Structure 1
Amino acid sequence: MAKTNPGRFFEDYAVGDVLRHAVPRTVSGGERALYHALYPARHALYSSDEFARGCGLPEAPLDDLAAFHLVFGKTVPDVSLNAVANLGYAEGRWHRPVYAGDTLRAESEVIGVKQNSNGKSGVVYVRTRGLNQHDDLVLDYVRWVMVRKGDLDAPAPQTVIPDLQNVIRAEDLVVPAGLQFDSYDFVQAGEAHRLADYEIGEQIDHVDGVTVEEAEHMLATRLWQNTAKVHFDTTARPDGSRLIYGGHVISMARALSFNGLANAQTIVGLNGGAHANPCTSGMTIRAWSEVLDKAETGVPGVGAIRLRLVATSGGEPFALRGDDGKYLPEVLLDLDYWALMPV
């Protein structure tokens, strides 16, 4: 009997399957320090315990995207070890902060399958839930992945494509318990811009760029215990390159967005996202944002801003698609998310 795990192939998934992922992870201040070493992350709520206490939290939580990466990494051996590509996200929500000492685990339910016309691969849709040591829901999201078939003669399953929301309603966003911006320190946060200072349709060039190095993305992939072969094994891709984990690009772009969106403190919703083109070592990531919407929350003084975050490897800011409607080749990421900021 084989002891090793070759990963699941497309024909191994069926709608309704529940995958309980291995190896829970207890987080510490080390994860926060490493996250800030890997990315130029400067949002004050995650950098300072005192700033976080001034906003009603007991201490600075782990960055929202770090929690996402930890949960995501748990799912890779069961969902995307044999993936061709991670195609998209939807219906992502952060339900409570993660603090040092919390233990995270993950489980996923298969909610859709569709074999591709070439018969060599198919798309698998899963809803993943990240839970803490109290079985409290920390975050959940849907993603869909193109996965190779192991047995090309395996029959195609009945196509099931889940009906997903394009945008999470503002009233369904969860404001962390205790969070308030009544005594918010704009000087310590780094910028004076409130929600009222942003206009729907406004575009912001975040100006700065960071070149991706091989060593840092390899460290990130290991930190999140992401075992996808294309990220660390040079024999897994025909050109011998390592594909940068898409979450690495998300975190880099989010960190760069501090310049212009320093008060978009906490991510609470992920409406959608696409890794438009592959990222490899040596590329310089730049970012720009567009304000898509603004909304009130149930907490006075705490507003929600919906943003499109675009990461690129070059080209002019605010350029997204060509005349053919396809993403321009320099566009790496197109992410639609909700964040909280002072009204």
Structure 2
Amino acid sequence: MGGDMKMGTSFNIAIVAQAGRLSYEALLFAASLRACSPDFNGRLILATPKDGPLWEREPTLRNPAILDALTRLEAEILPFDSTTFGSDYPYGNKIEMLAHLPEGEPFVFFDSDTLITGDVTKVPFDFDRPSASLRREGTWPKPTLYGPGHTGIWKSLYDKFGLDFDSSLDLTQPEGYWQRHLYFNAGFFYGACPREFGARFMHYARAIRDDMPDALIGQTLDPWLDQIALPLVIHSFGGGADALEPGWLDGQTSCHYRTFPLLYARESDAVVAALEEIAAPNWLKKVLKGYEPIKRMVYQGKGAKVRALFDQDNLPRREQQIRNRIKSNGLWLR
């Protein structure tokens, strides 16, 4: 794509939808997009992996009630073949599906466990400068006592792919601190052409997995492989952490809630109200209550009990502490 991409360009939205939990999340995502962003005129594409040798159980989205509801919400189902990842690394779906999205058309990918809570057409995307979610913790790498630190590990990856390491650094952060380096949550990312982005994402992910730099010995790639490759992809296309002004995605326009107990524990009153309003129509409720966490949290009021366990203005610092408190009160559902 050329450099004349303008903010406000039409774009498509893509998520991965599979049998089981992700199918219900995908339905809720589609309902939230239609309810909160009625002016969105791109395609809503739900990519679903076809059954094949890389899957232990059939992954394809096939629940008739969910498919009917998605048709009503004008979502397109896009089956694709899994050639590289599959059951061993299902996060790889978000990499593999990119090769099947419309070529040359700007895209935004969201994880299925996301709610759209505002007008996505107002988000000031510059698709020539890709970016991704900054709602993350320092989950990777975990430098070992005798091995290289954050700098050595990340530099080995930039060097492997011929990328300029120094220009990726956030020099306002101290040497040795994880936030000095580009690192994203892969809960959303976007770019100008999904096939170009996807080809590079696949190349980097496979090369890291199959021919790991020595500096990564002792590091765990599962489940972090997509989040290790993603900053390299974004940097290679001229994007970065500052490419999208804060407050839009993971803010007023979208919420990556991860699980329904976590949503009720830590998200804003506005997000909770949006969830309950989006899930309220009877035709949707009939389908969504087929998934136990939605049934119990949203429709039977357990979410309010989770919410009462926390002061949303003074949450525990680490997500694991939030999870543990919910579990100890017998309210964890996944």
Name the TM-score, length of structure 1 as normaliser: 0.27
Name the TM-score, length of structure 2 as normaliser: 0.28
